[in-house]
Chain A
Amino acid sequence: MGHGRCYAVAPDLLSDDEEGFVAQAGQDLDVPAELVGQAQDAAGACPEYAITFTKS
């Protein structure tokens, strides 16, 4: 079960599964311009530091 911080702060980008893990774990997500703020928040929200946000 995850900390749930990422999908809490980025509800338009990430979602939770029934066990509380982030449904998009392991995926590379392309972030649309208007959701960059949420993506950065999510990267800064994880107590496990499991999320990286990079510009390409």
Chain B
Amino acid sequence: MTPRSGCPVSHTDYTRESEIYGHYALLDEEREAERFHFNDTTERGFWMLTRYEDVLAGFQNHANWTTAVRTALFPGSTIELFPQDLNGEEHQKFRRILNPFFSPAAVRRMEELAHSRCVELLEELAPQGHCNFVAEFAIRYPTDLFLVLMGLPVQDGDFFLPWTEEMFGCMLQGDLDGAAVPKAKILAYFQEAVDERRANPRDPAEDMVTRLVQAELDGEPLSDDTILTTCMSIMLAGLDTTRSALGYIFAHLARNDEDRALLIEEPERTRDAVEEFIRLYPLVIQAGREVQEAEDFRGLEMAPKDVVWLGIGSANRDPRKYEDPDRFVLGRPGLNQHLAFGAGPHRCLGMHLARLELAVVLEEWHKVIPHYRIKEGTELIERGSQLTLKDLELEWDV
């Protein structure tokens, strides 16, 4: 790795696990210490942009900073993802194929089902009086909705879920060999769905797999490979993130009675609360980018193939943008401009679905289980790279 000059060096390894909020603490410290760092903990190293304004500018600098590298921590990752790996016009065209399934209008159509599925899961759960939240409910629910979104049977979650868990576990440690096994099973499962839709197409306006099977890019149909990779990409993007967001939200609410009481007494504020939680507890703490052409970015001399860390986690908690940034506060000015979902053309396709899922869980859970606590003795440990709580044992009176 070529040493860089022009800014201080960071030796912080963000892939390591820590106690809860440990990564935010490190991010906050580095952001306040210096405007920019060069991090040397990976083979290629990466420029760290941590302040809100710079991170926003980075997302909007998409013509020169592309997703040839998607994550600063594992720049050599060779799991292909669509549409994330595309850039420029190609990327935009591909997104347009998917947009109608993820727009607010499409998500509104899922709302009733989102509620009823949540209620069903809670009916099973409530009598138990306890659960390991992040390993059970919080991952099961987004998986079910993902299957609904894809037009696949909700019951398939029973076998589908262990595959995805295995795959995340491997990928987020950079273990691509380990990930290959569940990946093959997942792709085979999607291949069945693709074959079924080719034989019996449904309405492409409502059924995503049919849409992908019938879509054309520059006059050519998508290859099976592309379709399968797209399905898998959507899955990978939407399950662990939502599960993790729920974990942080419920850890907070279990320990902050006033905030929980507010949501119970004023459920109309749920959407605002969701947005503030998303700002406050981002799981995707960074987006990676690769510099294509040499560029002086605000005093940093960047070379082609340099890796950049766009610090979502630190930007969202930047006091220059948000006063008292590490507190949960409703009604903040500028809240909607947080960068948890990124910005620019690669902004999160699933953001509206994510918002719906989080809001539905907050509403339905508290109707059935308004008071709960973290089981005594539970150690709250978070994974590195893309944050999640490893365990969250909740319990409640039945």
* B interface secondary structure, majority: helix
Residue from the list B105, B336, B337, B343 in contact with A18, Cβ < 8 A:
B105
- Residue among A1, A17, A20 with the highest chain B CB neighbour number at 10 A: A1
In the complex with contacts A1-B349, A4-B104, A19-B96 CB distance below 8 A: yes
Q: List 16 A-B contacts (CB under 8 A).
A: A1-B95, A1-B98, A1-B102, A1-B349, A3-B343, A3-B351, A18-B105, A18-B106, A20-B106, A20-B352, A45-B337, A47-B338, A47-B339, A48-B343, A49-B56, A49-B337
CA distance A44 to B105 in the complex (A): 22
> Main secondary structure on chain A at its contact with chain B?
loop
Asked if B162 is an interface residue, CB under 8 A from chain A, the answer is: no
Docked CA distance A46–B98 (Å): 22
Instruction: Give A47 to B103 CA distance when docked, in angstroms.
Output: 17
Given A1-B349, A4-B352, A5-B336, decide whether A47 and B102 contact each other with a Cβ distance below 8 A: no
A13 within 8 A of B: no
Determine if A20 and B102 form an interchain contact, defined as CB atoms under 8 angstroms apart.
yes
**A48 CB to closest chain B CB, in angstroms?**
6
The answer to whether B103 touches A18 (Cβ under 8 A) is: yes
Whether A36 is near chain B, meaning CB under 8 Å from some CB there, is no
| Top 5 A-B pairs, shortest CB-CB distance | A20-B103, A19-B99, A45-B336, A5-B336, A1-B99
- Note all chain B residues with C-beta closer than 8 A to A48: 60, 343-344
User: B336 near A44 (CB under 8 angstroms)?
Assistant: yes
A16 touches B337 (CB 8 A): no
Q: Write the chain A residue with the least CB distance to B350.
A: A1
In Å, the complex CA distance between A47 and B263 comes to: 26
Q: A1-B103, A5-B336, A8-B336 are in contact. List 12 more A-B contacts (CB 8 A).
A: A1-B95, A1-B99, A1-B347, A3-B336, A3-B343, A4-B352, A8-B104, A18-B105, A19-B100, A20-B103, A44-B337, A45-B336
Report the count of interface residues on B (CB-CB < 8 A): 25
How many residue-residue contacts, CB under 8 A, span A and B? 64
For B377, the chain A residues whose CB sits under 8 A away are: none
The minimal Cβ–Cβ distance linking A22 to chain B, given in whole angstroms, is 11
The tally of residues in A whose CB lies under 8 Å from a CB in B reads: 18
Whether, in the assembled complex, B333 has its beta carbon less than 8 Å from a beta carbon of chain A, the answer is yes
- Interface set, chain A 1-51, CB cutoff 8 A to B: 1, 3-5, 7-9, 16-20, 44-49
Report the bound CA distance from A48 to B333 in whole Å: 16
Cα of A44 to Cα of B334 in the assembled complex, Å: 6
Inter-subunit contact A3/B105 (CB<8 Å): no
Complex-state Cα separation, A18 to B352, whole angstroms: 13
Residues of chain B with a CB closer than 8 A to A4's CB: 103-104, 351-352
Q: Which A residues lie within 8 Å of B60 (CB)? A: 48
Smallest distance from the beta carbon of A13 to chain B beta carbons, Å?
15
Contacts of B352 in A (CB 8 A): 4, 20
